[in-house]
Structure 1
């Protein structure tokens, strides 16, 4: 089985922020870095283990890191 990042921040949704999953299990939606860290803490990750800019830990899909709103059309 191919190795995958343990944390995935999925593409932004219009009003619901970005869905977040850890090892394939959905955690909820985050609207900011702060909310993302809170979700990860609630899932049992220690703050020392949370490095949002580490591509080996977090995969940002569909939009860049720290982007919480969908791209504007046009």
Structure 2
């Protein structure tokens, strides 16, 4: 991932997770597909959903790529 710091924050009440790349919040993701799209817009043109899931560079807070709902 070319060294960009990527953080996906814990899910909020709607199941959305903020995505931050290189210190800038890019938006609210509701799926791995959304995270991949944000990263493509940030310049990682060739990233796939599988790359997002398998990457050791993304910091997933409050659950990994399978977590899209807030704890009850």
Other-structure match for 2:14: 15
Which shifted more, 22-31 or 44-53?
Answer: 44-53
Shift of 1:11: 0.6
Stretches of 4+ moved more than 3 A in 1? none
Following the alignment from structure 2 to structure 1, what is the Cα–Cα distance between the partners of residues 4 and 66?
17
Q: TM-score, normalised by structure 1?
A: 0.75
Q: Which runs of 5+ in 2 are unaligned?
A: none
Structure 1 unpaired stretches of 5+ = none
- Residue in 2 that maps onto 1:44: 43
The aligned counterpart of 1:30 is: 29
Q: What count of residue pairs does the alignment treat as equivalent?
A: 68
RMSD after superposition = 2.2
**TM-score for both structures, normalised by structure 2:** 0.77
Question: Whose Rg is larger?
Answer: 1
